[in-house]
Chains A and B, each alone.
Chain A
Amino acid sequence: MVVLRAGLCPGLTEDMIQLLRAKGIRTVVDFVSSDLEDVAQKCSLSYKALVAVRRVLLAQFSAFPANGADLYEELKSSTAILPTGSPSLDQLLDSGLYTGEVTELMGASGSGKTQVCLGIAASVSLGLKQHILFLDSSGGFTASRLYQILQAQTEDEEEQAALQRVQVERVFNIYEVLGALQELRDRLSQQVVSSVGPLKVVLLDSVSAVIYPLLGGRQSEGLALMMQLSRELKTLAREFSLAVVVTNQVTRDSSSGPLKPALGRSWSFVPSTRVLLESREGTWQKPSTQRAASLAKSPRQPTGIQVELDIG
Chain B
Amino acid sequence: MQREVGTLPLAPALRARLAAAGFQTAQELLDTGPCGLSKEIGISREEALEALQVVRQECQGDTARTPGGSGATRKCTALELLEEEQSQGFIITFCSALDNILGGGVQLTKITEICGAPGVGKTQLCMQLAVDVQIPECFGGVAGEAVFIDTEGSFMVDRVVDIAAACVQHCHLIAEAQQEEDHGEALETFSLENILSHIYYFRCRDYTELLAQVYLLPEFLSEHSKVRLVVIDGIAFPFRHDFEDLALRTRLLNGLAQQLIIIANDHRAAVVLTNQMTTRIGQSQSTLVPALGESWGHAATVRLIFHWDNSQRLATLYKSPSQKEATIAYEITSHGFRDVQPPAVPPSTGGTELNPRKRPRTEGEKQ
Chain A contacts to B: CB under 8 angstroms: 1-3, 26-27, 108-110, 114-115, 121, 134, 137-148, 160, 163-173, 175, 178-180, 182-183, 185-186, 206, 208-210, 212-213, 215-217, 219, 221, 224-225, 228, 232, 249-252, 255-256, 259, 262, 282-285, 287-289, 312
Given contacts A210-B258, A284-B305, contact A142 B295 (CB under 8 A): no
Q: Is B76 an interface residue (CB 8 A)?
A: yes
**Nearest neighbor of A133 in chain B, beta-carbon distance:** B75
Q: Is B362 an interface residue (CB 8 A)?
A: no
Of the candidates A121, A170, A182, A251, which one forms a contact with B295 in the assembled complex, judged by CB atoms under 8 Å apart?
A251
Q: Is B69 an interface residue (CB 8 A)?
A: no
**Nearest neighbor of A4 in chain B, beta-carbon distance:** B22
**Does A168 lie within 8 Å of B12, measured CB to CB?**
no
Q: Please indicate the chain B residues that have their CB under 8 angstroms from the CB of A251 in the complex.
A: 293-295
CA A171 – CA B63 in complex, angstroms? 15
Q: Is B78 an interface residue (CB 8 A)?
A: yes
Given contacts A109-B298, A139-B111, A228-B6, contact A183 B293 (CB under 8 A): no
Of the candidates B7, B77, B81, B111, which one forms a contact with A228 in the assembled complex, judged by CB atoms under 8 Å apart?
B7
CA A285 – CA B318 in complex, angstroms? 9
8 contacts between A and B (CB under 8 A): A1-B20, A26-B22, A139-B264, A167-B78, A172-B262, A178-B3, A255-B293, A289-B324
Question: Can you list, as one digit per residue, whether each of B193-218 has a CB less than 8 Å from chain A (1) or not (0)?
Answer: 00000000000000000000000000
**Does B293 lie within 8 Å of A252, measured CB to CB?**
yes
**Does B247 lie within 8 Å of A183, measured CB to CB?**
no
**Does A142 lie within 8 Å of B61, measured CB to CB?**
no
**Nearest neighbor of B317 in chain A, beta-carbon distance:** A287
**Does A182 lie within 8 Å of B2, measured CB to CB?**
yes
**Nearest neighbor of B300 in chain A, beta-carbon distance:** A109
Of the candidates B4, B24, B254, B261, which one forms a contact with A212 in the assembled complex, judged by CB atoms under 8 Å apart?
B254
Given contacts A166-B77, A175-B9, contact A312 B250 (CB under 8 A): no
Q: Please indicate the chain B residues that have their CB under 8 angstroms from the CB of A171 in the complex.
A: 74
**Does A173 lie within 8 Å of B85, measured CB to CB?**
no
Q: Is B327 an interface residue (CB 8 A)?
A: yes
Secondary structure of the A contact surface, majority rule: mixed
CA A131 – CA B297 in complex, angstroms? 31
**Nearest neighbor of A216 in chain B, beta-carbon distance:** B247
Q: Is B322 an interface residue (CB 8 A)?
A: yes
Given contacts A2-B22, A163-B82, A217-B251, contact A249 B294 (CB under 8 A): yes
A-binding segment of B45-53, B279-287, B336-344: B279-287
Q: Please indicate the chain B residues that have their CB under 8 angstroms from the CB of A215 in the complex.
A: 251
Q: Is B325 an interface residue (CB 8 A)?
A: yes
Report the minimum CB–CB distance from B237 to chain A (whole Å): 18
**Does B78 lie within 8 Å of A110, measured CB to CB?**
no
**Does B294 lie within 8 Å of A109, measured CB to CB?**
yes
How many of chain B's residues touch chain A, expressed as a range?
35 or more
Q: Quick one: which of B302-359 are within 8 Å of A by CB?
A: 303, 305, 316-319, 321-322, 324-327
Of the candidates A172, A208, A212, A287, which one forms a contact with B265 in the assembled complex, judged by CB atoms under 8 Å apart?
A172
Q: Please indicate the chain B residues that have their CB under 8 angstroms from the CB of A212 in the complex.
A: 250-251, 254, 295
Q: Is B65 an interface residue (CB 8 A)?
A: yes
**Does A164 lie within 8 Å of B258, measured CB to CB?**
no
Q: Give the 10 A-B residue pairs with the shortest CB-CB distance, closest first.
A: A287-B325, A109-B297, A3-B22, A110-B319, A145-B322, A143-B82, A166-B78, A143-B81, A163-B79, A213-B255
CA A225 – CA B294 in complex, angstroms? 23
Report the minimum CB–CB distance from B351 to chain A (whole Å): 24
Given contacts A164-B79, A168-B81, A282-B287, 6 further A-B contacts (CB under 8 A): A138-B298, A139-B111, A139-B265, A255-B280, A285-B316, A287-B316
Q: Please indicate the chain B residues that have their CB under 8 angstroms from the CB of A228 in the complex.
A: 4, 6-7
